[in-house]
Amino acid sequence: MTYNFTKFEDTHARFESRITITGSYSIGFPTKFYKDNNIENYKYIVLYWDPENRAIGIQLTNDDNGAGKLKIGKTRDYGAMISAKSFFVKYGIDPKVSKGRYDWEKFDQPGAGEIFVIKLK
């Protein structure tokens, strides 16, 4: 009998495709979301806020000159994250209340193209 094993090495990876808001003003992109959406190919994120729907729009970009861009922090094992304290403070979003894992949808934002959208609790 012959076997074709693959060694499991992703012991710290998170295999879910949800976006995370932490209680410390960060937005996280777990490993599965990171890989499925090719975040390794981007340097920045631009955030959008819809107060009526309590929704955050997330645009991936490589535009070095774009206003409002946040640098993406990347790790091999955990995916990526951004620190967004100024965004949360400006729009009065309490991350301790809104923290959690969010399902997302894609939306075509005029002037920006395709963005990911999460609706806060």
* pLDDT tens, residue by residue, 49-108: 999 999 999 999 999 998 899 999 998 778 999 999 999 999 999 999 999 999 999 999
Residue 95 confidence (pLDDT): 95
Residue 77 confidence (pLDDT): 75
Three-state SS across 6-60? CCCCCCCCCCCCCEEECCCCEEEECHHHHHHCCHHHCCEEEEEEECCCCEEEEEE
Confidence of residue 12 (pLDDT cuts 50, 70, 90): low
Residue 63 confidence (pLDDT): 94
CB neighbour burial string for 90-105, b if at least 16 within 10 angstroms, e if fewer: eeebebeebbeebebe
Question: Percent of the chain at pLDDT above 90?
Answer: 75
Q: Rounded to two decimals, what is the model's pTM?
A: 0.86
Cα dihedral: 69, 28, 54, 114 (round 10): 60
Question: Percent of the chain at pLDDT above 70?
Answer: 94
What are the boundaries of each domain within the chain? 19-119
Please give the helix or strand (H or E) that residue 86 lies within, else none: helix 85-90
Residue 17 confidence (pLDDT): 84
- Beta carbons within 8 Å of 107's beta carbon, 6+ residues apart: 57, 114, 115, 116, 117
Mean pLDDT, the chain, as a whole number?
91
CA 17 to chain CA centroid, Å, is 10
